[in-house]
Amino acid sequence: MSVLVSNTAIIRADSINACEDLTSLFSQLNGYDTVPDVERINSLISEGTLAFYTVRDGDRIIGMASVIPCRTAASDKLWIEDVCVLDEYRGKGIGKQLLQYAMTDAVHYFGKGTFWLTSRPSRTAARQMYRSLGFAEYETGVFYKSDER
């Protein structure tokens, strides 16, 4: 299933292939050159533990987002991760429509849950978009510890 955004299409991918477009998106997202682990992404997609969405303009991938279910004793959460639209396509509403589509589809795919995401304070446009979609900023600190195997 896909939806049109301007002259683009949003889909939940059954699998992805390594390509320069994904490398560009992950690099823009992380702020440094990074090559996505396509084998890992495809494994998570096939296990049903990740919904990976892409926005395409013809054959070119211009945006992406993923949703990951997390069930706890207290609630069901749907974590939104890796949201990015290529610089030259920003400001056209593509990111917003991508997230609207992803959230609607994820509820059908995974079941109901509360959507969660994190966003760096420096990503002001993205944070404004999240607020426009009804997200509220949650007063908490995010902690992480690297697995140094």
Residue span of the structural domain in which 28 resides: 2-132
d(CA 49, CA 90) in angstroms, rounded, equals 28
Q: Does a structural domain hold residue 148?
A: no
142 in any annotated domain? no
**Token digits of residue 42:** 């495809």
Alpha-carbon distance 77 to 58, whole Å?
33
Could you report the per-residue pLDDT of 31-56, keeping only the tens digit for each? 767 778 889 999 999 999 999 999 99
Its pTM stands at 0.88
- Has residue 149 got a pLDDT over 70? no
Is 37 inside any structural domain? yes
Residue 147 lies in a domain: no
**Confidence at 4, pLDDT banded by 50, 70, 90:** very low
Q: Across the chain, what does the average pLDDT equal?
A: 88
Q: Total structural domains in the chain?
A: 1
Q: Does 81 fall in a domain?
A: yes
- Structural domain includes residue 76: yes
For residue 1, what pLDDT is reported? 44
Residue 15 identity (one-letter amino acid): S
* Domain assignment present for 72: yes
Asked if the structure places residue 41 within a domain, the reply is yes
Give the pLDDT confidence score for residue 101 in this predicted structure: 96
The CATH number that applies at residue 107 is 3.40.630.30
The structure tokens 């069901």 sit at 76
